[in-house]
């Protein structure tokens, strides 16, 4: 719950770009999640900075969400302010070998920008749904490439809304599906990526090839959050879950996908508890068969530990 003074401060800065008591199920690809106290969609960096300063002043927790493709939000929702950066979406070419992209730009617009100009380097991201902020925060990638391989530098704001000096790749702590080391409450606002001049058709063909592979191996036409578990060293979480016989297991309307066992899909009306029960079932079965304890890749977030855990 946000008190009236904080609410007034947010409204006087953001006008209709702040909403209160908004169900997060609208903003997650799993279509699951209770209410956020507030959702702010600042129109530019200045407004983002001011919003963070207000949150800091009133001690409101913040969470930046991209497109919600990698989160499982509890039924209790999130206290404080959820920040959405979809209006920060500029993309610009920097010289011959880099592009600068704001964190709210979607994977689709970045891909289109590169294809139209015949720029190569980010083709692997074409099928990784989300925003550039989400790509960076998750060090998103596929077997052959991750964001860390193509990022030149990032831009970020601290929790008080101060824009910090850009950090170059050598000083960033990218890990498997994680960017570590930034203070809590930091917001990624943009990045530069290394690209090469290539040929439009070549870039498009590579994207088509990767998207075709996904269509054939993943459930792409039903709500999910992508891979639920990280792959353990030298193996694949999907293979282990399938070997444990859990493809097609259900809890309510949530199901371990018949197409790819590392995906949990929502057939309509599943809640966070259903998904968590399937996560625990898969973890226990794989541990019993192999001794491997799978770790989640999907970010479990929500105001009450008890609700998501
Ligand atoms: C069908 C499907 C296929 C997928 N395939 C892949 C794949 O091949 N490889 C892969 O790596 N992932 C994959 N994913 C997962 C997902 O696409 C990626 O994790 C993506 O990077 C999420 O981006 P997002 O903007 O939706 O982030 P969100 O899900 O909104 O957020 C993810 C995390 O990043 C944080 N975050 C987001 N933006 C910011 C910001 N600006 N500043 C600070 N923190 C931020 C959030 O707080 C959260 O902790 C897949 C998902 C789906 C549904």
Domain residue ranges in the chain = 4-84, 91-217, 237-308
Token duo for residue 95: 């010289």
Residue nearest ligand 1's atom 1 by CA = 226
177 is catalytic: yes
Q: Is the pLDDT of residue 306 over 60?
A: no
Q: Which of 45, 63, 297, 303 is catalytic?
A: 297
The CATH class that applies to domain 237-308 reads alpha beta
Mean pLDDT computed over 109-123: 97
To test ligand 1's pocket by mutation, which of 130, 147, 179, 222 has the most ligand atoms within 8 angstroms of CB?
130
Whole-number Å distance, alpha carbon 9 to ligand 1 midpoint, is: 30
With vertex at residue 63, the alpha carbon angle to CA 237 and CA 158, rounded to the nearest 5 degrees, is 115
With vertex at residue 108, the alpha carbon angle to CA 144 and CA 29, rounded to the nearest 5 degrees, is 90
The pTM of this model reads 0.96
Name residue 119's beta-bridge partners: 197
The CATH class that applies to domain 91-217 reads alpha beta
Whole-number Å distance, alpha carbon 196 to ligand 1 midpoint, is: 25
Mean pLDDT computed over 32-57: 98
Question: What is the reported pLDDT for 304?
Answer: 66
Q: Where does residue 252 fall: left (phi above 0), alpha (psi -120 to 50 degrees), or beta otherwise?
A: left
Whole-number Å distance, alpha carbon 219 to ligand 1 midpoint, is: 17
For the stretch 210-252, pLDDT in tens is: 999 999 999 989 999 999 999 999 999 999 999 999 999 999 9
Per CATH, domain 4-84 is 3.20.20.220: no
Name residue 47's beta-bridge partners: none
Question: What is the reported pLDDT for 305?
Answer: 46
Distance CA 71, CA 91 (A): 25
To test ligand 1's pocket by mutation, which of 48, 74, 133 has the most ligand atoms within 8 angstroms of CB?
133
- Percentage of the chain beyond pLDDT 70 is 98
Determine contact, residues 139/147, Cβ cutoff 8 Å. Answer: yes
């Amino acid at each position: 719950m946000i008190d009236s003074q904080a609410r007034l401060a947010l409204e006087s800065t953001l006008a209709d770009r702040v909403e209160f008591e908004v169900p997060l199920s609208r903003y997650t690809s799993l279509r699951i999640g209770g209410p956020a106290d507030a959702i702010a969609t600042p129109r530019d960096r200045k407004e983002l900075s001011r919003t963070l300063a207000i949150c800091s002043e009133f001690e409101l927790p913040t969470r930046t969400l991209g497109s919600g493709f990698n989160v499982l939000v509890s039924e209790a929702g999130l206290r404080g302010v959820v920040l959405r950066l979809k209006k920060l979406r500029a993309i610009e070419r920097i010289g011959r070998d880099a592009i600068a992209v704001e964190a709210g730009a979607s994977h689709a617009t970045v891909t289109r920008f590169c294809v139209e100009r015949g720029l190569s380097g980010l083709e692997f991201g074409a099928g990784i749904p989300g925003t550039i902020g989400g790509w960076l925060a998750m060090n998103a990638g596929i077997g052959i490439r991750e964001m860390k391989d193509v990022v030149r530098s990032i831009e970020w704001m601290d929790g008080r809304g101060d824009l910090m000096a850009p950090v170059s790749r050598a000083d960033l702590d990218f890990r498997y599906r994680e960017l570590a080391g930034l203070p809590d409450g930091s917001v990624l606002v943009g990045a530069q990526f290394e690209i090469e001049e290539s040929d439009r058709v070549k870039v498009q063909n590579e994207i088509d090839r990767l998207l075709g592979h996904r269509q054939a191996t993943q459930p792409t036409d039903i709500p999910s959050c992508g891979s639920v578990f990280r792959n353990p060293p030298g193996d694949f979480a999907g293979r282990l879950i399938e070997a444990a016989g859990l493809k097609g297991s259900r809890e309510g309307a949530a199901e371990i996908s018949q197409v790819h066992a590392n995906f949990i899909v929502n057939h309509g009306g599943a809640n966070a508890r259903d998904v968590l029960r399937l996560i625990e079932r898969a973890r226990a079965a794989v541990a019993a068969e192999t001794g491997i304890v799978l770790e989640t890749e999907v970010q479990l977030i929500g105001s009450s530990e008890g609700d998501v855990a």
